[in-house]
Structure formats: structure tokens, C-alpha cells
Amino acid sequence: MTDTMQRIALARRPDGEPVPEDFRLEDIPMPDPADGEVLVKVHYMSLDPYMRGRMDDAKSYATPVPVGGTMEGGAVGEVIASKSDAFAPGDYAFGMFGWASHGCLPARELRKLDPAHAPLTAALGVLGMPGFTGWFGLTEYGKPQKGETVVVAAATGPVGSMVGQVAKARGCHVVGVAGGPEKCALATDKFGFDACLDHRAYADGKEMRDALAKACPDGIDIYFENVGGKVLEGVLPLMNVGGRIPVCGMISWYNAGGLGANASGDKDNLPKLWRTILVNRLHVHGFIISDQFDHYPRFLSEIGPKVAAGEIGIQEDIAEGLENAPEAFMGMLKGRNYGKQIVKIT
């Protein structure tokens, strides 16, 4: 075993969109596991939109990454040393190891994986936090009923694709929104959406609304919110009375500090938004999936067999090499990935 490992550290806090200078590749000493800890050689690590928020020093639901600290993230790999009876060398595990070639954590913070049941990368996407997020947000707060219309933003990502497939399985009319004709084709051809709209084809919320109105002739009962921006502006006027909006994310605003701005830069849409929620008696529910992991076994019991049977479509984008993680991350924030963004370390 070598004496050093590699990591990506947060070199400075971004001003708007992250740039390469915000990250730093470093060699650091290899950790030595203490009693109860496990050392893992990372094979794959996850890149997710929430990581952008961790780069800002702003009040949020989680502590930001300190400048000079390892970028946060989930990863999977092989146990190479263990001082816990729960893991032995050669086992595979998921943990929050961050953007790094190795990770050392208490065994209680790890989840053992069996590569015979599902590929290791599944624990980062379809059977991991993103898939669980889509399943939980839709079933718990969307409460889909047969015949209802569901609109899903960021439709081909690991969250959105899970939402769409579960909604279709429950008898809903599902319309996706994605960036580009290739992604829209992926949503309909691979994930089974009834239709998918390319948000890049519409200049503003009004054009988005007109397109959604044609795709959703009976209005919208559930909008799974991943992006904010003009998609949200287009959806709101079409929400049916009693509609539900699980709020998972707002990636179109992340680089603007979390609140964002519309095209005019100064128009305040909050009064219109608030009135729409009141008049249509909408149920808008923000949620953070880390609060809900007591439901994770139920998710695995329902979705795990479907993945094994090939009933759930999976799309992964895999970048090669830890040193390329920043570029892949910046591309993901701009919608360059087609599915779950993963970095292969070994």
C-alpha cells in the first residue's frame, strides 16, 4: 500500500459559475484506520448538483466545504484495510469519501455492497441517493394517482428519470423537460416518458408555458421541481387545483447564489407565485433527502428487483480520472451530461 493518496480540494469559493481555479488536486498522506474504521480504495465517485451549494459559505441545511477541505461526495470502492468486524479486505462499500482516491471512515457510516446483485455504480445513481430522492419525493409528496399528469424537469438525470419511470408505472401521463433533442429522445425512448420538451427551444416562461399546455391538455397535477427558472414559470399557470410540487432542487439558479434572477434581472415574480399557490390550493413541499434515509430500505425493496429485472432504465456518464472531476462537474452544472455523472478513479 502506498504512503500517499490524492484528493480534490476546494481551492477558493466560486464567484458565480465554478472555474478550474476553484479546485486543487493534491497528494496527501494515506490515512491509517483507527479502531472501528475502514480504509477504502475508491473505484467510482459521484458528482451531484447539491455539491455546488457546498462550495458557498452561506446558510444552508448542511455545513459548507471549508476552503482547503476535500470536496464532498459519495463514492464506492474496495476495502483494503479494516479495524472493524463489520468489514474485511476485499469487501465493497459505499461511503461519503469525497473527491478522493481513498477514504477512511467509521464502519457505522458505510454501507456494504454486493457487486453480484448490482454494479457498483448503481449505488451512486439508480439505487443510491439520486434514485432514492426521485422515488421518495414523488411517492411521498407527489402522491401520483392513475390518470394524472406529471411534469418532470431535468428528465434524463438520475432523479428525474426515476420520477418519470415510477410515475409511468403508476398509470400517469408523464411529460419531461430536458436540454436538447438528444436528451428528449432519451426520455421518451429509454425511460418511457409520453413526451419531452427541449427547454432550450423556448426563450422564456411564456413560450415554455405554451408548449407545456399542448403537451398537458388536462393541466398539470404534479410538477417535480429540479431546475427553477423558466420551466417553473411555464408550469405554474397550468397547475390544477390541488396540484403537488415536490421541490428537490433549482439547478438553473445555483450559480446565482441559490436565489437566482429572471431574464429581466429585476422583475419580482414572488407575488404571482404566492397567489398561484393560494388560488389553486397547491401543496408545495421542499425536502432534503438526508432527512429521510429511514425510508431507504423500503425504496430498495421496491426498486431493487425492478433494476435487477431490467424494468428501470439506467443512463450513466463516466469520466475517467480524479483529475478530471472538476471539468465533469462544471459540465454537469451546464447540462452537458446525459445521465448520472460518475468519475472512475481506478
pLDDT score of 274: 80
Let me know if 248 is exposed, middle or buried by CB neighbors in 10 A (0-12, 13-18, 19+): buried
Let me know if 210 is exposed, middle or buried by CB neighbors in 10 A (0-12, 13-18, 19+): exposed
Question: Which phi and psi (to 5°) does residue 225 adopt?
Answer: -90, 115
pLDDT score of 211: 98
Residue carrying C-alpha cell 443512463 = 315
Residue carrying C-alpha cell 446565482 = 256
pLDDT score of 166: 98
- The CATH code that applies to domain 129-290 is 3.40.50.720
Amino acid at 164: G
Which residues, listed in sequence order, are joined to residue 103 by a DSSP beta bridge? 40
Three cell numbers at 90? 476485499
Residue carrying C-alpha cell 432519451 = 186
Rounded Cα distance between 205 and 209, Å, is: 6
- What angle is formed at CA 342 by the lines to CA 259 and CA 123, rounded to 5 degrees? 100
192 Rama class: left (phi>0) / alpha (psi -120 to 50) / beta: left
pLDDT score of 257: 47
Give the side-chain half-sphere CA count within 13 A for 161: 28
pLDDT score of 267: 59
Q: Where are the domains of the chain?
A: 4-126+314-344, 129-290
Rounded Cα distance between 285 and 267, Å, is: 24
Superfamily (CATH H level) for 4-126+314-344: Medium-chain alcohol dehydrogenases, catalytic domain (3.90.180.10)
pLDDT score of 256: 57
pLDDT score of 171: 98
pLDDT score of 2: 79
Rounded Cα distance between 84 and 39, Å, is: 10
Amino acid at 255: N
pTM: predicted TM-score of the whole model, two decimal places: 0.89
pLDDT score of 255: 61
- Return averaged pLDDT per consecutive 10 residues of the chain, 346 residues in all: 92 94 98 97 96 88 92 97 98 98 98 93 96 98 98 95 98 97 97 97 94 98 93 95 93 56 55 85 93 95 94 96 98 92 94
Residue carrying C-alpha cell 420538451 = 197
Q: Using an 8 Å Cβ cutoff, are 153 and 225 in contact?
A: yes
